[in-house]
Amino acid sequence: MIKSKRSKFQVLIEISISSGLMVLALWGIDLSSLWKVLRNTNCLWLIPSVLSVFLLLLLKSWRWQLLYYPGHKLPFGSLFTALSAGFFISNILPARLGEVSRVLLIVSEQPVGISRTTATIIIEHLLDLATLLIYLLFLLPFVHLPPLLSHTAKISGILAAIGIFAMFVLSAWKDKWVLLFNAVSEKLGLLKRPVIQNFVLNLLDGFAVMRTKTGILIIAITFLGWVFVYITAWTAAEALKINIQIVATMFAVVVTTMGMLIPSSPGYIGVFHYLTVVSLSPFGILKDTALAFALLWHAVNYLTLSVSGYITLWIHGTSISQILRRYKEGTIV
């Protein structure tokens, strides 16, 4: 009962934040001007935009496959299905259930445990966050931000670079870190729990791949992935015949992606649109133009990921209701 009330309260907060930010995004907008920009969309530009989202899905699936190395060599198809389904479920259900679905689909049909799979997803997010902050660090000289935000962004970018270096440190001396963890867990009884020990060891195993040639490939794929994110945004702007600087588009990519950390309704509706408008304002992009761009850019991402996820789940023979039932039954926690 308590968990149910907490979940409902979380959903209420997410919807409130999304609704509030969408109102702010629409505040002062001339709807006729907004529609004028949208109705002139050149749909041919949406083809490369959709294609870049799909190619990003393929890249992320490949990276996820490599994060299991060398202990597990999972089939690409299973990983692509789980990843696509995860994005689809995150787009239509609250509480970020997409990540849970990814884990559930993989561990239910592949010889890997929950801890190992969760560790790969955590490393995946850490790599994305670190790469994003490094991009932000290089963008700062071209963006006029308030001093406090500028200094914060610089520190974050430096910490991200240190974080990537730390991953290599963790991978290079895995055995020593295991010994250190075991010594600490002897003093702290809480860490001796099997669930925690398995998770930490699997996390260290995940970092271990970073010291190999595979690790270099994983980092290269991560940086390349953000190029496809940029291409999606750029082609959406071209479809609307909006002249947005390369730096402005990249800054919008960074800000909107960081905004995914904010609690929001499924699909980041409202949060995505408001942050796009805010991130483009320093570059002189009018609010109605920026919002039109946000609407189209978000629609391309949302629909491509949702349709891909729906189709892959259908081919896989699994329904969302089945995934939710397994989750509620405690098949995965």
Q: What is the pLDDT along the chain (333 residues), one digit of tens a residue?
A: 434 555 677 777 877 888 888 888 888 888 888 888 888 889 899 999 999 999 999 999 999 999 988 778 899 999 999 999 999 998 888 767 788 888 888 988 888 888 788 888 888 888 888 888 888 777 877 777 666 556 666 666 666 667 666 666 666 665 565 566 666 665 655 555 666 666 666 666 666 677 778 888 998 999 999 999 999 999 999 999 888 888 888 888 988 888 777 767 777 888 899 999 988 888 888 888 899 999 999 999 999 999 999 999 888 887 777 777 766 665 443
CA dist 21 and 229 (Å) reads 23
All residues at 6 or more sequence positions from 189 whose CB lies less than 8 Å from its CB, including other chains: none
pLDDT score of 4: 53
Q: What is the pLDDT of residue 299?
A: 94
Q: For residue 88, what pLDDT is reported?
A: 92
Domain boundaries, the chain: 18-328
Kindly report the pTM of this predicted structure: 0.82
Q: Which residues contact 143 (CB under 8 A, 6 or more apart)?
A: 247, 251, 282
Omega prior to 141 cis, within 30 of 0: no
